[in-house]
Protein backbone atom coordinates (compact mmCIF):
# COMPACT_ATOMS: atom_id res chain seq x y z
CA UNK A 1 0.00 0.00 0.00
CA UNK A 2 2.87 2.37 0.89
CA UNK A 3 4.52 1.57 -2.45
CA UNK A 4 1.32 2.49 -4.37
CA UNK A 5 0.95 5.75 -2.39
CA UNK A 6 4.59 6.67 -3.02
CA UNK A 7 4.21 5.85 -6.72
CA UNK A 8 1.15 8.12 -6.94
CA UNK A 9 2.95 10.96 -5.17
CA UNK A 10 6.06 10.65 -7.36
CA UNK A 11 3.95 10.44 -10.54
CA UNK A 12 2.00 13.49 -9.44
CA UNK A 13 5.16 15.50 -8.78
CA UNK A 14 7.07 14.42 -11.88
CA UNK A 15 4.25 14.26 -14.40
CA UNK A 16 1.94 16.85 -12.91
CA UNK A 17 -0.77 14.21 -12.62
CA UNK A 18 -2.38 12.40 -9.75
CA UNK A 19 -3.71 8.88 -9.31
CA UNK A 20 -7.26 10.10 -8.80
CA UNK A 21 -8.66 13.00 -10.78
CA UNK A 22 -11.27 15.29 -9.35
CA UNK A 23 -12.40 17.97 -11.79
CA UNK A 24 -12.07 21.51 -10.48
CA UNK A 25 -15.24 23.12 -9.18
CA UNK A 26 -16.70 25.71 -11.55
CA UNK A 27 -15.78 29.21 -10.55
CA UNK A 28 -18.01 32.21 -10.73
CA UNK A 29 -16.40 35.19 -12.37
CA UNK A 30 -17.98 38.45 -11.31
CA UNK A 31 -19.40 40.96 -13.70
CA UNK A 32 -16.62 43.52 -13.91
CA UNK A 33 -18.92 46.45 -14.57
CA UNK A 34 -22.57 47.21 -14.69
CA UNK A 35 -25.24 47.97 -12.17
CA UNK A 36 -24.61 47.62 -8.43
CA UNK A 37 -26.35 48.85 -5.31
CA UNK A 38 -29.95 48.44 -4.27
CA UNK A 39 -33.11 48.14 -6.29
CA UNK A 40 -36.21 48.98 -4.29
CA UNK A 41 -39.84 48.60 -5.33
CA UNK A 42 -42.77 50.01 -3.41
CA UNK A 43 -46.45 49.97 -4.41
CA UNK A 44 -49.85 48.90 -3.14
CA UNK A 45 -48.96 45.42 -4.48
CA UNK A 46 -45.99 45.14 -2.11
CA UNK A 47 -42.50 46.33 -1.31
CA UNK A 48 -39.12 44.66 -1.60
CA UNK A 49 -35.43 45.37 -2.02
CA UNK A 50 -32.88 43.46 -4.13
CA UNK A 51 -29.15 43.83 -3.50
CA UNK A 52 -27.19 44.01 -6.75
CA UNK A 53 -23.49 43.21 -6.33
CA UNK A 54 -20.79 42.33 -8.87
CA UNK A 55 -21.42 38.63 -8.15
CA UNK A 56 -25.17 38.34 -7.46
CA UNK A 57 -28.70 39.68 -7.19
CA UNK A 58 -30.14 38.70 -3.82
CA UNK A 59 -33.32 39.48 -1.97
CA UNK A 60 -36.78 38.10 -1.40
CA UNK A 61 -37.29 35.55 -4.17
CA UNK A 62 -33.97 36.48 -5.91
CA UNK A 63 -31.01 34.07 -5.85
CA UNK A 64 -29.15 34.97 -9.04
CA UNK A 65 -25.42 34.72 -9.81
CA UNK A 66 -23.76 37.25 -12.11
CA UNK A 67 -21.13 36.22 -14.66
CA UNK A 68 -19.29 38.39 -17.22
CA UNK A 69 -21.94 37.64 -19.87
CA UNK A 70 -24.80 35.91 -18.02
CA UNK A 71 -27.24 35.82 -15.11
CA UNK A 72 -28.18 32.40 -13.71
CA UNK A 73 -30.20 31.29 -10.73
CA UNK A 74 -33.78 31.51 -9.49
CA UNK A 75 -36.40 34.23 -9.22
CA UNK A 76 -39.74 33.44 -7.60
CA UNK A 77 -38.82 29.74 -7.66
CA UNK A 78 -38.32 29.79 -11.45
CA UNK A 79 -34.96 29.03 -13.06
CA UNK A 80 -33.44 32.02 -14.86
CA UNK A 81 -30.72 31.74 -17.49
CA UNK A 82 -29.88 34.94 -19.39
CA UNK A 83 -27.03 35.82 -21.73
CA UNK A 84 -26.47 39.15 -23.45
CA UNK A 85 -24.70 40.99 -26.19
CA UNK A 86 -24.66 44.72 -26.92
CA UNK A 87 -27.73 44.20 -29.11
CA UNK A 88 -29.95 42.16 -26.80
CA UNK A 89 -30.72 39.56 -24.17
CA UNK A 90 -31.62 35.89 -24.73
CA UNK A 91 -32.42 32.96 -22.48
CA UNK A 92 -35.20 31.45 -20.43
CA UNK A 93 -37.29 32.27 -17.39
CA UNK A 94 -38.77 29.04 -16.10
CA UNK A 95 -39.69 27.26 -19.32
CA UNK A 96 -40.55 30.50 -21.13
CA UNK A 97 -38.31 32.17 -23.74
CA UNK A 98 -36.55 35.51 -23.44
CA UNK A 99 -35.48 37.33 -26.58
CA UNK A 100 -35.09 41.11 -26.12
CA UNK A 101 -33.63 43.57 -28.60
CA UNK A 102 -32.10 46.91 -27.66
CA UNK A 103 -32.70 49.96 -29.83
CA UNK A 104 -31.53 53.49 -29.07
CA UNK A 105 -34.35 56.07 -29.08
CA UNK A 106 -34.49 59.80 -28.68
CA UNK A 107 -35.54 59.27 -25.04
CA UNK A 108 -33.15 56.43 -24.11
CA UNK A 109 -33.28 52.75 -25.03
CA UNK A 110 -36.20 50.63 -26.25
CA UNK A 111 -36.15 47.09 -24.85
CA UNK A 112 -38.56 45.03 -26.93
CA UNK A 113 -39.39 41.41 -27.64
CA UNK A 114 -40.28 38.37 -25.53
CA UNK A 115 -39.83 38.28 -21.77
CA UNK A 116 -40.95 35.06 -20.11
CA UNK A 117 -43.31 34.24 -22.96
CA UNK A 118 -44.92 37.71 -23.02
CA UNK A 119 -44.37 40.47 -25.54
CA UNK A 120 -42.68 43.50 -24.01
CA UNK A 121 -41.91 47.02 -25.13
CA UNK A 122 -40.21 49.20 -22.51
CA UNK A 123 -38.47 52.55 -23.06
CA UNK A 124 -35.88 53.37 -20.40
CA UNK A 125 -34.55 56.92 -20.36
CA UNK A 126 -32.72 59.23 -17.97
CA UNK A 127 -36.03 60.75 -16.82
CA UNK A 128 -38.56 57.93 -17.27
CA UNK A 129 -39.46 54.26 -17.61
CA UNK A 130 -42.51 53.65 -19.77
CA UNK A 131 -44.01 50.45 -21.19
CA UNK A 132 -44.40 46.76 -20.45
CA UNK A 133 -41.96 43.99 -19.51
CA UNK A 134 -43.13 40.55 -18.36
CA UNK A 135 -46.40 40.80 -16.48
CA UNK A 136 -45.81 44.41 -15.41
CA UNK A 137 -46.41 47.75 -17.08
CA UNK A 138 -44.88 51.04 -15.93
CA UNK A 139 -45.40 54.76 -16.40
CA UNK A 140 -42.74 56.29 -14.15
CA UNK A 141 -40.97 59.65 -14.12
CA UNK A 142 -37.86 60.70 -12.23
CA UNK A 143 -38.30 62.53 -8.92
CA UNK A 144 -34.83 63.01 -7.46
CA UNK A 145 -33.21 59.60 -6.99
CA UNK A 146 -36.48 57.72 -7.44
CA UNK A 147 -38.81 56.95 -10.31
CA UNK A 148 -42.46 57.45 -9.34
CA UNK A 149 -45.78 56.96 -11.09
CA UNK A 150 -48.06 54.03 -11.87
CA UNK A 151 -47.43 50.32 -12.30
CA UNK A 152 -49.64 47.32 -12.96
CA UNK A 153 -48.34 43.83 -12.19
CA UNK A 154 -51.35 41.58 -12.53
CA UNK A 155 -53.69 43.73 -10.41
CA UNK A 156 -55.15 47.21 -10.58
CA UNK A 157 -52.85 50.16 -11.35
CA UNK A 158 -51.14 51.46 -8.22
CA UNK A 159 -48.88 54.30 -7.20
CA UNK A 160 -45.34 53.03 -7.41
CA UNK A 161 -41.85 54.25 -6.60
CA UNK A 162 -38.64 52.46 -7.50
CA UNK A 163 -34.98 53.15 -6.93
CA UNK A 164 -32.63 51.73 -9.55
CA UNK A 165 -29.14 50.41 -8.81
CA UNK A 166 -26.31 52.72 -9.86
CA UNK A 167 -24.12 51.97 -12.85
CA UNK A 168 -26.85 51.34 -15.43
CA UNK A 169 -25.33 52.11 -18.83
CA UNK A 170 -26.83 55.03 -20.75
CA UNK A 171 -27.97 54.06 -23.31
CA UNK A 172 -28.59 50.58 -21.91
CA UNK A 173 -26.13 47.87 -22.85
CA UNK A 174 -26.97 44.15 -22.76
CA UNK A 175 -25.91 43.63 -19.14
CA UNK A 176 -27.85 46.65 -17.83
CA UNK A 177 -30.91 45.61 -19.85
CA UNK A 178 -30.75 42.03 -18.49
CA UNK A 179 -30.48 43.21 -14.88
CA UNK A 180 -33.22 45.83 -15.30
CA UNK A 181 -35.60 43.43 -17.08
CA UNK A 182 -35.05 40.85 -14.34
CA UNK A 183 -35.87 43.45 -11.67
CA UNK A 184 -38.89 44.99 -13.44
CA UNK A 185 -40.33 41.98 -15.26
CA UNK A 186 -41.69 40.17 -12.24
Proportion of the chain above pLDDT 70, given as a percent: 83
Q: What is the pLDDT of residue 23?
A: 34
Dihedral of alpha carbons 68, 121, 58, 77, sign:
negative
Evaluate if residue 47 carries a pLDDT over 70.
Answer: yes
Dihedral of alpha carbons 174, 178, 183, 186, sign:
positive
Longest Cα separation, the chain = 76
Q: What is the pLDDT of residue 181?
A: 93
- Confidence category of residue 32, pLDDT binned at 50, 70, 90: low
Q: What is the pLDDT of residue 34?
A: 82
Work out the average pLDDT over 87-111: 94
- Rounded CA separation 84/95 (Å): 18
Q: What is the DSSP letter of 159?
A: E
Evaluate if residue 90 carries a pLDDT over 90.
Answer: yes
Evaluate if residue 103 carries a pLDDT over 50.
Answer: yes
Work out the average pLDDT over 12-29: 40
Q: What is the pLDDT of residue 153?
A: 87
For the full predicted model, state whether its pTM sits above 0.85. no
CA-nearest of 75, 69, 30 to 48 is: 75
- Confidence category of residue 7, pLDDT binned at 50, 70, 90: very low
Amino acid sequence: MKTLLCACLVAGLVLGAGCAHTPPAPTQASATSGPTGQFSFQSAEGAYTVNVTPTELSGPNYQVSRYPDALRGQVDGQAIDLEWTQQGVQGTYGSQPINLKLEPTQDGTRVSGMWGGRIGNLVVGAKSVDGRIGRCSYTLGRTGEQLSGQSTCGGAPSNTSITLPSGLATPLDGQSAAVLALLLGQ
